[in-house]
C-alpha cells in the first residue's frame, strides 16, 4: 500500500471554501479509481487554513491513475492556495 499526504495551505479565509467541496470530490475519486482505498480531508487544529489530504492506494498503478486524473481535471485550487502543495509519498511498513 502507498500513502500520500498532501498538505494544502490556503489564503486566509479560503480553506473552508475548498473543504465544503471536498466531499463531492472524494466521492468522484473513490467511484472512478478502484485502487484508491482512502481519500480523506483533515484540518490542522492550530492552522485554520491548512488542510491535509490523506490518501491510501493499493499500488503504484493506482497512484498513477489518480495523478493522471488530477492532471486531466480543471481546477481552481491554485486561486485559493497561499503556497505550493507539499506532497509526501509513504510506503506501508506494518
pLDDT of residue 4: 98
Round to whole Å and give the CA distance between 76 and 81: 9
Helix (H, G, I), strand (E, B) or coil at 8: strand
Cβ pair 15, 49 in contact under 8 A: yes
The three cell numbers of residue 19 are: 473543504
pLDDT tens figures, 7-34 = 999 999 999 999 999 999 999 999 999 9
Q: Which domains does the chain have, with CATH numbers?
A: 2-91 (3.30.70.100)
pLDDT tens figures, 75-88 = 778 889 999 999 99
pTM for the whole thing? 0.90
Closest CA to 65 of 53, 57, 76, 77: 57
Amino acid at each position: 500500500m502507498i500513502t500520500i499526504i498532501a498538505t494544502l495551505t490556503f489564503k486566509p479565509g479560503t480553506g473552508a471554501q475548498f473543504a465544503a467541496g471536498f466531499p463531492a470530490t472524494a466521492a468522484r475519486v473513490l467511484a472512478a479509481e478502484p485502487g484508491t482505498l482512502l481519500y480523506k480531508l483533515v484540518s490542522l487544529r492550530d492552522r485554520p487554513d491548512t488542510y491535509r489530504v490523506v490518501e491510501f492506494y493499493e499500488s503504484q498503478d493506482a497512484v498513477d491513475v489518480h495523478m493522471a486524473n488530477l492532471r486531466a481535471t480543471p481546477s481552481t485550487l491554485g486561486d485559493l492556495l497561499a503556497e505550493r502543495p507539499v506532497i509526501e509519498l509513504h510506503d506501508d511498513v506494518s
